[in-house]
Structure formats: structure tokens, C-alpha cells
């Protein structure tokens, strides 16, 4: 559940009218609820309290410093996938020993930065990467902890762009290769291979693939143990699905019930990396209708937010609920079928297609729900559109947590060579 609700006919975030926020900060605008972020973090924490795991928020889902700070204050760790995300996590004061670093393409400078910072461990995804970490650690005269990300090859019912645990995906090591590396780990004098990592995809609504993947990892862990390799960590990744439309995802408690018995048996320190589960329903994208355009085939609601602000519908065909910020008084009002589209010069630029909604007019405010994860972080300046502002709501308090970019910001890093 989340803190975006109607009171009367007005949509609120926590204690604040969204129409009021729009007046003050203009649109398009991302709005986050502090309480929802915390509630979701605590749901996972409580569900897994029996084993006190390290819960590392997946920074790539929403990397705004204020969002990270809210979670860091709850003593969340962070899961990073780049030097930039590591920089953000450290900036908000997350203890390095609560930071884990995954990703298939870590560069040497990024690895060196993470070693110097003293992160808990790397989740390594290839043999070649281990070589690079070994070299960087050697140069810094450090011995670093590394988990191997294995690819458990399980099938998941989610969009093909967000499965990561099939053998056709670029992620992780196949189990046999991983096992060989563990057994030959002495060749790395600067690495301790201390754990197994899995992350099988995103927006997974059922427990089964998690259980299957965990069981495969457990087999590996057991075989390693029998051959004298004792590990410290088992990282089960993120991927928990949320409600965008009519999904019925497992709750945190159901998820924990399904996997806790398996995890307990390992006696290893468990790491979780939820991203979407914490941030997804904690944010909305607020947009305004600029024009309504009726063609012989369709009704277009042309809004001021585009695919550069929220790319999920264009990229994954993702569904986002779209709600009027001010509801019509007559609830029985007739619905009209709209394509809700942005101003970008691409036919893929839509937020919804064929959506039955109460009639809209130019100037109406719309809330694109469940946009707190993989929303702003995936935004771009395409069509030279300044990136939008972000605000954080805490009860009745509204804080600007990222300024709207200006035209000057758009060209800040560009240079016209002399004599051109």
C-alpha cells in the first residue's frame, strides 16, 4: 500500500494536496512519499527478522540522495552497480561495510574506488572480472571479499528485458564454472571468495522462481562445503514484484515464508537487494494535459511528460495507472478511451495506450502512479528537454530534492571549438 490517496475528490500525498504541489513546483514532477519508502523497507526487514539479513537497497531503482538518505537512516545498506552509485551511497553516509557492488562491466577505476572505500564485497560476474579485481587489489595491497554471481537458469514470467537469470542473459556465471573457480580460488592471492550471489530478474510476482533459484544455489553451496570451501554470505538479490495494475504479487511475508527455511539451513549471512519493492509505489510522476486531440481513429491526451521522463511504457510496454489529481464530482461519469502521449518526436512516446479514463481537458493534472522505481533514474534530455524536478513529502512537509534543470544546464558540459 502507499500514501497517495483521495480525500474527497482531491489526490493527496501523505498530508499534502497534489494540486498544491503542482502550483508550487510546476509539472512534470516526480513526487515521493517518505512514509511509503520506510513502510516498504520495514516490511522486508520485519518479514526476515528471524535471520537479520543485510538489506541493501538497489540504488539503480531510485538514486536521489534524499531517497537514499531516508533509507540509510533506517540503516539500510546499498547495492550499487557503478562508481557513480557508489559515490552517491557514500555521500549519504552509508557505512562502506553495508555496500555491495554488482554489474557485468565494472571498470578498473570503479573497482579501485570501491576497494579504497572499503565496501563489504564485490558481486563478480565473470572470470575476467576476478582478474581485474585481483590486479586492483594487488596494487592497493588489499585483500578483498568477493561473491560469485551465479546464473541459476530459471524461467520467470516477466518482461524479457528484465529477466536476468536465464542462460541467454549476460549476467552471472554458470554454476559449473562458478564451482571450478571456487575450487581454484587459491590462484587469486588478493581475493577471498566468500559468497554466492543470485539476482534472477525484476517485477517477479510469484515465489516459485525464487525458490528454484535458491535451491540451485544451495546445491552449489553444499557441494562446496563438502569439498572444504566454507562461505560467509548468500546474497539472494532483489526482484520482488509490486502492484502496477491487477498483479497479485507475493507479500514480503509470503516471500519470507517460502524462502526462510531454505536460508536458515545455510547458516550464512543473508543479503537482500530490493529496489522496486521499496521505491516503486513510493513515487508518482505528475503531469499536465497540454492538448486534447481527436483524430478519426483516436483520442490523444497530449501531456507535458514524455518518454524521456518515464521510459517504462515505451521500453517495456509497462502499465502505469493514470489517475486524475482532481476527480470529477459525478463518479458515474462516462469514460473515454485515450492514448496518453508525450511531446517527444517518437511514436513510441506514450504513457498509456487505449486507456479508458474520465474525460480530460487541457490543464488537467494527471498522476502517473507507481513511478518511484526506474522512473527519474532512467530519464534523459532527449529532445533537449530539461530533466524534471523531484520533491519528497514527509507528512505535511514538501521538500524539493532535485531542482528542475534549466536550458543552461542542458548545454553546461558542451564546448564549441575555437575557430569553428
CA distance 51 to 269: 8
Beta partners for residue 303, in sequence order:
289
- C-beta of 63: minimal distance to ligand PLP in Å? 12
Say what angle helices 175-183 and 127-139 make with each other, to 10 degrees: 30
All three cell numbers of 95: 557505512
Residue 253 CB neighbours (<10 A)? 13
Instruction: Give me the least distance between CB of 206 and ligand PLP, in Å please.
Output: 14
Q: Give min distance, CB of 408 to ligand PLP, in A.
A: 33
Closest CA to 126 of 178, 79, 169: 178
Please say which residue, 276 or 355, places its beta carbon nearer to ligand PLP.
276
- H-type helices in 74-154, by residue range? 83-91, 108-117, 127-139
Q: Which is nearer to ligand PLP, 324 or 375 (CB)?
A: 375
Q: What values do phi and psi take at 9, rounded to 5?
A: -105, 5
- Block residue for cell numbers 563438502: 226
Return the number of the residue (152 or 237) whose C-beta is nearest ligand PLP.
Answer: 237
CB neighbours of 287 closer than 8 A, spacing ≥ 6? 27, 28, 303, 304, 305, 309, 351, 365, 366, 368
Q: Is the peptide bond before 108 cis (omega within 30 degrees of 0)?
A: no
Q: Which of 164, 300, 177, 162 is nearest to 244 (CA)?
A: 162
Q: Report yes or no: 33 and 396 within 8 Å, Cβ to Cβ.
A: no
Give least dist CB 294 to ligand PLP, A.
38
User: How far is C-alpha 33 from the chain's CA centre?
Assistant: 16
| In the complex, least distance from residue 75 CB atom to ligand PLP, rounded to whole angstroms | 18
Binding residues for ligand PLP (CB under 6 A): 58, 60-61, 79, 81, 102, 199, 202, 237-240, 273-277, 373
CB of 269 to ligand PLP, least distance (A): 17
Alpha-helical segments (H) within 2-103: 18-25, 34-47, 65-73, 83-91
Taking the CA atoms of residue 282, residue 370, residue 271 and residue 74 in that order, the dihedral angle to the nearest 10 degrees is 0
Burial class (CB in 10 A: 0-12, 13-18, 19+), 283: buried
Residues with catalytic function: 345
Q: Which lies closer to ligand PLP via its Cβ, residue 240 or residue 314?
A: 240
Write down the least CB distance from residue 189 to ligand PLP, Å: 27
Check residue 141 and report its DSSP letter.
Answer: T
Which of 238, 324 has the CB closer to ligand PLP? 238
Show Cβ contacts of residue 315 under 8 Å, excluding neighbours closer than 6 positions.
161, 378
Q: CA 318 → CA 173, 312, 353, 358, distances in Å?
A: 29, 5, 11, 21
Is the CB of 60 or the CB of 385 nearer to ligand PLP? 60
Give the residue with the Cβ less far from ligand PLP, 209 or 238.
Answer: 238
CB of 277 to ligand PLP, least distance (A): 6
Amino acid at each position: 500500500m502507499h500514501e497517495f490517496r483521495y480525500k474527497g475528490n482531491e489526490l493527496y500525498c501523505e498530508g499534502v494536496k497534489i494540486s498544491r504541489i503542482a502550483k508550487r513546483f510546476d509539472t512534470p514532477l516526480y513526487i515521493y512519499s517518505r512514509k511509503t519508502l520506510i513502510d516498504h523497507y520495514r516490511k522486508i526487514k520485519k518479514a526476515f527478522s528471524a535471520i537479520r539479513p543485510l538489506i541493501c537497497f538497489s540504488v539503480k531503482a531510485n538514486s536521489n540522495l534524499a531517497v537514499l538518505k531516508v533509507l540509510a537512516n533506517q540503516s539500510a545498506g546499498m547495492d550499487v552497480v557503478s562508481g557513480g552509485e557508489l559515490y552517491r551511497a557514500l555521500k549519504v553516509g552509508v557505512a562502506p561495510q553495508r555496500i555491495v557492488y554488482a554489474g557485468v562491466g565494472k571498470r578498473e577505476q570503479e573497482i579501485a574506488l570501491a576497494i579504497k572505500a572499503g565496501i563489504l564485497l564485490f558481486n563478480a560476474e565473470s572470470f575476467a572480472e576476478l582478474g581485474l579485481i585481483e590486479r586492483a587489489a594487488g596494487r592497493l595491497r588489499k585483500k578483498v571479499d568477493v561473491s560469485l554471481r551465479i546464473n541459476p537458469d530459471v524461467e520467470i514470467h516477466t518482461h524479457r528485458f528484465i529477466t536476468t537469470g536465464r542462460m541467454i542473459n549476460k549476467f552471472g556465471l554458470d554454476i559449473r564454472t562458478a564451482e571450478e573457480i571456487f575450487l581454484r580460488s587459491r590462484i587469486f592471492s588478493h581475493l577471498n571468495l566468500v559468497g554466492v550471489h543470485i539476482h534472477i530478474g525484476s517485477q517477479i510476482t510469484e515465489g516459485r522462481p525464487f525458490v528454484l533459484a535458491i535451491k540451485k544455489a544451495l546445491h552449489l553451496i553444499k557441494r562446496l562445503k563438502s569439498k572444504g570451501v566454507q562461505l560467509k554470505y548468500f546474497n539472494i538479490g532483489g526482484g520482488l514484484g509490486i502492484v502496477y495494475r491487477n498483479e497479485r504479487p507475493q507479500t514480503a511475508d509470503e516471500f519470507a515464508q517460502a524462502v526462510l527455511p531454505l536460508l536458515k539451513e545455510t547458516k550464512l549471512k543473508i543479503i537482500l537487494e530490493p529496489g522496486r519493492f521499496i521505491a516503486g509505489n513510493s513515487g508518482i510522476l505528475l503531469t499536465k494535459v497540454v492538448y486534447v486531440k481527436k483524430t478519426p481513429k483516436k483520442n490523444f491526451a497530449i501531456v507535458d511528460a514524455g518518454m524521456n521522463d518515464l521510459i517504462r511504457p515505451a521500453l517495456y510496454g509497462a502499465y502505469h495507472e493514470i489517475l486524475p489529481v482532481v476527480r470529477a464530482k459525478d463518479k458515474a461519469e462516462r469514460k473515454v478511451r485515450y492514448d496518453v502521449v508525450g511531446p517527444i518526436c517518437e511514436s513510441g512516446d506514450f504513457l498509456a495506450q487505449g486507456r479508458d479514463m474520465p474525460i480530460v481537458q487541457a490543464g488537467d493534472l494527471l498522476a502517473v502512479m507507481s513511478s518511484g522505481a526506474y522512473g527519474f533514474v532512467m530519464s534523459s534530455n532527449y529532445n533537449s528537454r530539461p530533466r524534471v524536478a523531484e520533491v519528497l513529502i514527509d507528512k505535511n512537509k514538501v521538500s524539493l530534492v532535485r531542482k528542475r534543470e534549466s536550458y543552461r544546464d542542458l548545454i553546461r558540459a558542451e564546448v564549441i571549438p575555437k575557430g569553428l
